[in-house]
Amino acid sequence: MSEGRLTQRFNIALGYAFDLHARQLRKGTQTPYIAHLLSVAALVLEDGGDEDLAIAALLHDAVEDQGGLITLEKIRRAFGDRVAEIVLGCSDSTSLVKPAWRERKERYLAHLATAGPDVLKVSLADKLHNARAILLDLRQDGDAVWKRFSGGKEGTLWYYRALADLYQARGNSPYADELGRVVGEMERFVKGNRG
């Protein structure tokens, strides 16, 4: 594949992602979930990612949300080992019954501390898009936003601060700094709305 070019593989992955997530909406919204997957793929491409990384971005939640290890093997057969390993590296759970929220997040943070650059790039794009969405919703809906998240306000803020610090320590992507800024805005918003 030529650098900076997408092939029919990306189109096939897009269709596969659509089929997997067609009935899924973003938490607490009427936004089709595919919007998030497209945004993450766009961020990965804009950050210099190749087609494999863009495909992994489209499929990054497939294992976690749509079938566990069975889905992972389907991804491996359709798109290859590299894509499958990135998707696995971006998943905080592979079981159909997920462990407790805090346990999953702590394990995921520990995993990211040693994850390779491909996983970091896709994971960072995912978390940046999520954080931007949370910040926008905070500005519109205030504290009601936190009811959407298993970690609530304190847990969600802890998790995104830990992620931002980890990506900034590990990488050289401008998106790591951007995530830090967005999380800082989330923290300031919450602090300004206390009392």
- Rg of the chain taking only CA atoms, in angstroms: 16
Between CA 141 and CA 195 the distance in angstroms is: 17
Q: What residues are annotated to the active site?
A: 64-65
Q: Of 84, 91, 78, which Cα lies nearest the Cα of 13?
A: 78
Between CA 164 and CA 182 the distance in angstroms is: 9
Partners of residue 32 on adjacent β-strands: 25
Q: For residues 87 and 56, is the Cβ–Cβ distance under 8 A?
A: yes
Judged by DSSP in three states, 66 sits in coil
